[in-house]
Structure 1
Amino acid sequence: MAEVVTKGVGRVERTADRAEVQVSFEATGSTRAEAVDRLTGRVAALEPAFARPGVEVRSRQLTVNDNWDGSRRSGGRASQNYVVRVDDVTVLDELLATAVAAEPTWLGGPNWQLSDDAEAVAEAQGEAVADARRRAEGYARALGARLGPLQRLADGDAETQWAVESRAAVAGYGGSPGVPPQVDQLSLEAQRIAVTVRCTATWALLD
């Protein structure tokens, strides 16, 4: 039996409903203990914001080490790195404003995500199969044949990516003390996420 093999692509877009932010703080002191005390004071105002509903700290990493001036130890340094997931994007603006006001050493984000892409993947799969069928029907007509039943279907990997480039100017902020950006002037609208599915289909060709 003659066959035709076609590839199909399905692509759907959804508005992101989750965001991830990375925030880092650093402090120095004459000793490591003093550096930790100063760091604790810097992050104290931010910790309550991380505890609010819809916000989850996915990672909290503390690093403490000596400072060195050549071969001579000169005090200590402490840093705290956070990875924060925001499931309620309505609180994102306020959270970022609070984070920037605390003058972090570095702030990155928001990185937009879908909390559940199952429905989007299912729709993209349907579009991919329909696309493969349309291509097969075109080949069948070109050959003067009829398209028969599906024989085999191979799944391609689903891809999730930003549909448009982020316009959030806060991304990658490495702020100087006392000079925070104006968060209320940034565009922090939830981004469009594109989900793409590819498949390879084998169809029978009938006389």
Structure 2
Amino acid sequence: MAEVVTKGTGKVERTADRAEVQVNFETVGSTRNEAVDQLTRRVASVEPVLERPGVEVRSRQLSVHDNWDGQQRAGSRASQQYTLRVEDLAQLDDLLSALVAAEPTWLNGPQWQLAADAEAIREAQREAVLDARRRAEGYAEALGARLGTLQRLSDGDGETWAAESTPGRAMAAYGGSVGQAPNMDELNLEAQQIVVTVRCTAAWTLLD
């Protein structure tokens, strides 16, 4: 029995309702202990900022190592990197302002996310199957045949990413004076659209 195999794609847009931010603080000292002591003092003012509601510290990563100038040791460096998840986007601007005012070595974000994407994936799956069927019907008509029953369906992985029309934004470390909170209003950090894409491959019988 003849069959036709088609691919279908379903895409659904949702507004991001969660954001992730990465921030790093770095200090140097003549010894490892001195570098760590300076780092401890530097992040002491940062930790209370991370305790606000709607902000979750996903990870704290400490790195301590010696600096080298050729074959000679030239002091030490210590850094602490935070990965933050912001569930309450109303907190995002104030959080970023406070972090930048604390003079991080670098800050990247926000990376936009969906807190729950199951419903969007199901809708995209329906669109993918409909797309595959429309394509199969077109081939059947072109052959002067009728589309029969579905024989096989291969389900691809659901993928989530930022829409190309609204690319993700990254922030560099702020260069103002210590303790000065920058104005974040002009950076346009509104939640962007997330595109959930599902692809499938379907095989259908062709009837005379």
Q: Same fold (TM over 0.5)?
A: yes
2:120 maps to amino acid: A
Q: Superposition pairs for residues 79-94 of structure 1, below 5 Å?
A: 79-94=79-94
DSSP-derived class of the 2:100 partner: helix
The runs of at least 4 consecutive aligned structure 1 residues that moved more than 6 Å come to none
Q: CA deviation at 1:25?
A: 0.5
Q: CA deviation at 1:16?
A: 0.8
Q: CA deviation at 1:138?
A: 1.4
Superposed CA offset, 1:155-202 (max 9, x none): 12322111134364xx24134462885323211101111111111111
Q: Superposition pairs for residues 46-195 of structure 1, below 5 Å?
A: 46-163=46-163, 164-166=165-167, 168=169, 171-176=170-175, 178=177, 182-195=183-196
Alpha-carbon contact 1:60-1:81 (below 8 Å) kept:
yes
DSSP-derived class of the 2:136 partner: helix
Superposed CA offset, 1:98-137 (max 9, x none): 1000000000011111111111111010001001111111
In 2: Cα distance, 1:174 partner to 1:204 partner: 59
Number of matched residues? Answer: 205
Alpha-carbon contact 2:4-2:203 (below 8 Å) kept:
yes
Q: CA deviation at 1:89?
A: 1.3
**Is residue 44 from structure 1 mapped to residue 7 from structure 2 by the alignment?**
no
With over 3 angstroms needed to count, the CA separation of the structure-2 counterparts of 1:203 and 1:70, relative to structure 1, is: closer
Superposed CA offset, 1:11-62 (max 9, x none): 1111111111110001123433332222122212221121222211111011
TM-score (norm 1): 0.89
2:177 maps to amino acid: G
Segments of structure 2 that go 5 or more residues without pairing to the other structure are none
* Pairwise CA RMSD: 2.0
TM-score (norm 2): 0.89
DSSP-derived class of the 2:95 partner: helix
Segments of structure 1 that go 5 or more residues without pairing to the other structure are none
